[in-house]
Homo-oligomer: A and B are copies of this chain.
Amino acid sequence: MHVLPAGSVSTEPADLAACAVDQGPVVDHQLPIAVVWAQSAEDVQMVMRAAHAAGVPVVCRGAGTGVSGGAHATEGCLVLNLERMNRILEIHPEDEIARVEPGVINSDLNAAVAEYGLMYAPDPASYRVSTIGGNIATNAGGLRCAKYGVTRESVLALDVVLADGTLIHTGHRTFKGVAGYDLTGLFVGSEGTLGVVVGATVRLRYLPAALETVAAFFPDVAAAAAGVLAVGRARVQPAIMELLDGHTMAQLDKEQGSSLRSRGAALLLIQTDGYAAAVEAGIIREVLSGLGGDIKAADAAEAVRLVDLRRHSRGAEVDDDFRVGEDVAVPRSQLVNYIHQLQDIADRHGVGLKVVAHAGDGNLHPTFWVGPGDVAKVPALNAALDESIDVGLALGGTITGEHGVGQYKVRWLGREQSEEVLELQRRLKDVFDPQRLLNPGKALPVAPRVG
């Protein structure tokens, strides 16, 4: 019989606490009964068989950088931690694929394949810390997803341990393949509720021959958002198109020693790549100058620094403001409108607003905030947040562009999807996990809404 390696299980209070929550808002704080670190697919199978036999819920955990509470512990659960399964099993430069264990850190994979002139395209801002398994379970987006697509577009095949411990392989090593239903795609983004990802075959892309970065400063966010549409109308596809508002710039200046805010009240940070990077950047500069943008052609070192700053624009906050944030995505034409409405919501509720956006994809991360200690304003914060979700939906948007539903957004899913669609998903879930042990209470509202 398979035995877990020594040191695989802990019930130490510090370990339980460390694995109790991710970076998302905590709705219902619970400590797991134990944490198990798997080192192999066999370990995972063993854990799942035991959990299945005992009826114990299991919450998978990568790096715990999720921001929707997907990895939050639930009552009486075991946390199955995949971070030690961190081997890159294969890099095949001619097949342009890599096979990895789920605990591999995104940037480690990218560093390893860069030697071959290749990249793993999906690059969440958390790429230096988050795991490929977590990226897959959330269908993570990232900066260069504007051009290269989200995680799903780079995952060819998966090894998955099902709730009863069965190990299956889905998908194909080839770029294309349509044999059977797309189980691979179904597991991507399922937030650990359908199975445990224990291996992945991912597609690699060519590292671009050149990068060109354009930083365009605008007097206000609406003007910057209009710039996004204007670049689209010029039919140029940037690799990266990020928007930062004045509050975000000021905060970065404070934390990182930059001086962005003095240049404007909104920044469009655009990167083109490939052999046409310079030509495309030239067109973009012309378009944005025409809109009144203060354009800067960043030199290579500054470009890296700017993109790096953008990656720090979320999650690194060290002050103790109260804040709530989301990741609504809206159709691109609604970007300007939505930002206006967000500001209006913030004003009416008397709270601050800060926005960063993967603007090329219409995916916004607005944060409503109030000053340190201003606990009386928390209800206003939550009311603003709720309203921002409804407005995003009314504009044809979705409640979550890339962070997942997790635990925190379950209450909103029924505003976006019909009861028939929710019920269909519950029945799918029951096919994979009839005992409902995998990440219970996440991703889907459990019971039908009443009334």
- Write the residues of chain A forming the contact surface with B, with a CB cutoff of 8 angstroms: 92-97, 117-118, 138-139, 141, 145, 149-150, 152-153, 162, 166, 168-170, 172-183, 185-186, 188-190, 194, 205-207, 209, 229, 232-233, 235-237, 274-276, 279-280, 329-333, 358, 361-363, 396-405, 409, 413, 416-418, 420-422, 424-425, 427-429, 431-432, 443-444
Instruction: Give which listed residue, B185, B275, B402, contacts A276 with CB less than 8 A.
Output: B275
A174 touches B398 (CB 8 A): yes
- Most interface-central of A152, A175, A404 (chain B CB within 10 A): A175
Kindly state the separation between the CA atoms of A256 and B232 in the bound complex, as whole angstroms: 40
- Chain B residues within an 8 Å CB radius of A180: 405, 413, 417, 421-422, 425, 443-444
A95 touches B176 (CB 8 A): no
A401 touches B176 (CB 8 A): yes
Q: Give the shortest distance, in Å, between A436 (CB) and chain B (any CB).
A: 15
B417 touches A95 (CB 8 A): no
Q: A139-B178, A150-B176, A176-B363 are in contact. Are A183 and B329 (CB under 8 A)?
A: no
Instruction: Give which listed residue, B118, B194, B398, B428, contacts A177 with CB less than 8 A.
Output: B398
B185 touches A332 (CB 8 A): no
B363 touches A179 (CB 8 A): no
Q: A174-B331, A332-B94 are in contact. Are A413 and B179 (CB under 8 A)?
A: yes
Kindly state the separation between the CA atoms of A361 and B138 in the bound complex, as whole angstroms: 27
Q: Give the shortest distance, in Å, between A237 (CB) and chain B (any CB).
A: 6
Instruction: Give which listed residue, B168, B176, B229, B403, contacts A329 with CB less than 8 A.
Output: B176
A188 touches B179 (CB 8 A): no
Q: A333-B95, A401-B177 are in contact. Are A186 and B185 (CB under 8 A)?
A: yes
> Secondary structure at chain A's binding surface: helix, strand, loop or mixed?
loop
Q: Give the shortest distance, in Å, between A327 (CB) and chain B (any CB).
A: 9
Kindly state the separation between the CA atoms of A24 and B402 in the bound complex, as whole angstroms: 40
A174 touches B424 (CB 8 A): no
B421 touches A362 (CB 8 A): no
- Chain B residues within an 8 Å CB radius of A179: 398-400, 405, 409, 413, 416-417
Q: A235-B207, A280-B275, A333-B95 are in contact. Are A181 and B176 (CB under 8 A)?
A: no
A-B contact sample (16 more), CB < 8 A, given A141-B176, A182-B189: A95-B332, A118-B235, A138-B178, A172-B397, A173-B397, A174-B397, A175-B363, A179-B398, A180-B413, A182-B186, A185-B185, A274-B276, A276-B276, A276-B279, A424-B432, A431-B431
A418 touches B331 (CB 8 A): no
Kindly state the separation between the CA atoms of A405 and B178 in the bound complex, as whole angstroms: 8
A–B complex contacts, Cβ < 8 Å, 11 sampled: A138-B178, A168-B420, A172-B329, A175-B361, A176-B329, A176-B402, A178-B402, A179-B398, A179-B413, A424-B431, A424-B432
- Chain B residues within an 8 Å CB radius of A168: 418, 420-421, 424
- Chain B residues within an 8 Å CB radius of A280: 275
Kindly state the separation between the CA atoms of A401 and B178 in the bound complex, as whole angstroms: 6
Q: Give the shortest distance, in Å, between A61 (CB) and chain B (any CB).
A: 18
A361 touches B425 (CB 8 A): no
Kindly state the separation between the CA atoms of A399 and B205 in the bound complex, as whole angstroms: 24
- Most interface-central of A92, A94, A361, A397 (chain B CB within 10 A): A94
Kindly state the separation between the CA atoms of A416 and B180 in the bound complex, as whole angstroms: 10
Instruction: Give which listed residue, B118, B333, B420, B432, contacts A92 with CB less than 8 A.
Output: B333
Kindly state the separation between the CA atoms of A117 and B138 in the bound complex, as whole angstroms: 33
| Chain B residue, CB-CB nearest to A208 | B235
- Most interface-central of A181, A190, A361, A443 (chain B CB within 10 A): A181
| Chain B residue, CB-CB nearest to A425 | B181
- Chain B residues within an 8 Å CB radius of A235: 117-118, 206-207, 209
Kindly state the separation between the CA atoms of A403 and B421 in the bound complex, as whole angstroms: 28
Kindly state the separation between the CA atoms of A190 and B422 in the bound complex, as whole angstroms: 20
Kindly state the separation between the CA atoms of A8 and B252 in the bound complex, as whole angstroms: 64
B174 touches A206 (CB 8 A): no
Instruction: Give which listed residue, B152, B190, B276, B421, contacts A170 with CB less than 8 A.
Output: B421
